[in-house]
């Protein structure tokens, strides 16, 4: 670690921004130099850092990088201003509210060789991190299907995007990341029940570049909060609960069940179930450590802007499919659901 701390800035003190401020204030090798939020800091969430009126005031402090935690619709504008000022950025997910906006950010930071990343925090969840490593090691053999469920109560803090770009982008990114594959087609249905112009619920089916089937169920209409990911393959099924950071493995059947009453519930045979003991560090802290290391020029597995753009493209494909009733090929064309999937 360098002896001189990196100077970090923060834009936004909302529900995520306040947590970014907390982590930045205690992050080794980093000093939280200042915060920008038009609402001020009446609750003391800035951790004692100066709260500045404009982004220009923050940039004038000579910050090494900034964390963008303002509403999604502002990511494009704020990100471009940072890039033009020569400041790297960790931008909260999704990268932008449109794929066009995400491309502009990719070009702006890339053309200036600035370090920039997207805050897809599920990559730092201990359950998914462990799952990815086990898939890379071939523990599951061939992967057949990835299923995610992400539901919970309506978040009143979100007003500028619907459930697809707010919540489903988590599942899109984590699916591509844990499998190391890209989406090739997607089809979806959405509903809107909260009286807002945006969708509240989505059911999606898709295909990855190796043929793996993908299913996503996402909503913010349920009183039950759930964060579920399962990966099924030739040797069994991994289940990750990212609320608790737990990862379990259900192996394929190995022992015949002779007790007939149980066979009706568990099948004619069953395999071992293992819940792994894995280190559980706070995902947001891990995310900040990785980005700090990237700014310092050290190897760090951050979510790149190009990966963030791809996630927004898939999200827009979901919305296009829901609007047209057709599956969307992610090479730019559309086809019928029967052919695409």
pLDDT tens digits, 103-134: 999 999 999 999 999 999 999 999 999 999 99
Q: Is the pLDDT higher at 304 or at 258?
A: 304
For residue 127, the Cα-to-chain-centroid distance in whole angstroms is 14
Q: Is the pLDDT higher at 317 or at 271?
A: 317
Cα–Cα dist 206/194, whole Å:
26
Pairing of strands 6-11, 30-36: parallel
At 212-225, the pLDDT tens digits run 999 999 999 999 99
Residue 187: left (phi > 0), alpha (psi -120 to 50), or beta? beta
Cα–Cα dist 47/63, whole Å:
17
- The neighbouring-strand residues paired with 213 are 145, 207
Cα–Cα distance list, 241 to 38, 137, 244, 306 (Å): 36, 21, 6, 27
Q: Where in the chain is the domain with CATH 3.40.50.720?
A: 6-122+284-305
Q: For 125-279+313-334, which CATH superfamily applies?
A: Dihydrodipicolinate Reductase; domain 2 (3.30.360.10)
At 45-73, the pLDDT tens digits run 999 999 999 999 999 999 999 999 999 99
Q: Where in the chain is the domain with CATH 3.30.360.10?
A: 125-279+313-334
Cα–Cα dist 130/238, whole Å:
10
With a threshold of 0.75, does the pTM exceed it?
yes
Cα–Cα dist 21/34, whole Å:
10
Instruction: Yes or no: say if 52 and 36 are a contact pair by the CB < 8 Å rule.
Output: yes
- Compute the mean pLDDT over every residue in the chain, rounded to the nearest whole number: 92
Cα–Cα dist 62/59, whole Å:
6
Q: For 6-122+284-305, which CATH superfamily applies?
A: NAD(P)-binding Rossmann-like Domain (3.40.50.720)
Residue 254 has pLDDT above 80, yes or no: no
């Amino acid at each position: 670690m360098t002896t001189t701390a990196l100077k970090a800035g923060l834009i936004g003190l909302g529900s995520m921004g306040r947590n970014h401020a907390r982590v930045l204030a205690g992050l080794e090798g980093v000093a939280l130099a200042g915060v920008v939020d038009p609402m001020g800091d009446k609750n003391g969430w800035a951790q004692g850092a100066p709260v500045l009126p404009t982004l220009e005031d923050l940039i004038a402090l000579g910050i090494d990088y900034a964390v963008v935690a303002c509403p999604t619709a502002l990511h494009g504008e704020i990100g471009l201003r940072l890039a033009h000022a020569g400041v790297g950025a960790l931008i909260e997910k999704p990268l932008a509210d449109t794929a066009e906006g995400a491309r502009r950010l990719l070009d702006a930071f890339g053309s200036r060789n600035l370090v920039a990343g997207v805050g897809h925090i599920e990559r730092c969840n201990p359950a998914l991190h462990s799952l990815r490593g086990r898939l890379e090691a071939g523990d599951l053999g061939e992967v057949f299907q990835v299923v995610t469920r992400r539901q919970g109560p309506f978040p009143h803090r979100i007003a500028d995007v619907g459930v697809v770009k707010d919540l489903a982008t988590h599942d899109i990114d984590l699916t591509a990341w844990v499998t190391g594959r890209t989406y090739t087609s997607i089809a979806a249905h959405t509903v809107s029940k909260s009286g807002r112009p945006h969708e509240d619920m989505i059911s999606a089916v898709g295909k990855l570049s190796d043929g793996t089937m993908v299913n996503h169920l996402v909503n913010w209409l349920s009183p039950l909060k759930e964060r579920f990911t399962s990966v099924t393959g030739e040797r069994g099924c991994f289940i990750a609960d990212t609320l608790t950071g737990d990862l379990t493995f259900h192996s394929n059947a190995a022992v015949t069940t002779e007790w007939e009453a149980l066979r009706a519930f568990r099948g004619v045979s069953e395999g071992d179930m293992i819940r792994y003991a894995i280190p559980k560090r706070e995902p947001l802290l891990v995310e900040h450590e990785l980005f700090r290391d990237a700014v310092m020029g050290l190897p760090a597995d951050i979510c790149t802007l190009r990966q963030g753009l791809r996630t927004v493209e898939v999200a827009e494909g979901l919305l296009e499919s829901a609007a047209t009733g057709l599956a969307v090929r992610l090479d730019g064309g559309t086809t019928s659901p029967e052919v695409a999937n």
